[in-house]
Amino acid sequence: MEKIDMESIGLTERFIREAGGYNGLYIGRVSSQHKDMYSVITQEGEIKAGVSGKFRYLAGDDLTRYPAVGDFVMMDRADDAKGSAVIHHVLARKSVFIRKAAGTTKDAQVVAANIDMVFICMSLNNDFNLRRLERYLSIAWDSGATPVVVLTKSDLCHNPEGRLKAEMLITRPWGYWLS
């Protein structure tokens, strides 16, 4: 089986240095989450993993301390030849996209971590809402990633350039793309 180039999926020297402090553990990147189980990419391939009991105890009810998609984690194995891996640590995040968790709680939920860019797609049809776009931009900037606004359905808007100039560009210091 061909090894996966971890640098091609975002592993940088910063993460490698931090991972060096965890002897006997292997680095991987979370690619998806399914309740309490995670799919993690290692140089050996994609494996299933769960967090250790100690990790769960130390994280407690703080959902932001648990692994999220994009996190680099330290595990007890790099392949699944002997079953699912156990995640022991989450490496420090360079960026984190957080939202309020679903339901009535005030908990925060990490949507993604270690992202460079956030694409915000918004239709120019009747659903266009400048205030919503501003909220999304604020969340994207707060995450540490760079937001890119992609405006769609310009064919359903009679005068897209005029609408944008009237609603956004006069007072906003950012540009736009039409598609």
DSSP 44-78: TEEEEEEE-HHHHHHHTT-GGGS--TT-EEEES-S
**In which band, very low, low, confident or very high, does the pLDDT at 165 lie, cut at 50, 70 and 90?**
low
- pLDDT number for residue 170: 42
- pLDDT number for residue 131: 83
Task: Say what percent of the chain tops pLDDT 70.
Answer: 87
The pTM of this model reads 0.80
**In which band, very low, low, confident or very high, does the pLDDT at 169 lie, cut at 50, 70 and 90?**
very low
C-alpha distances (whole Å) from 14 to each of 4, 10, 38, 50, 128 are 19, 11, 23, 24, 40
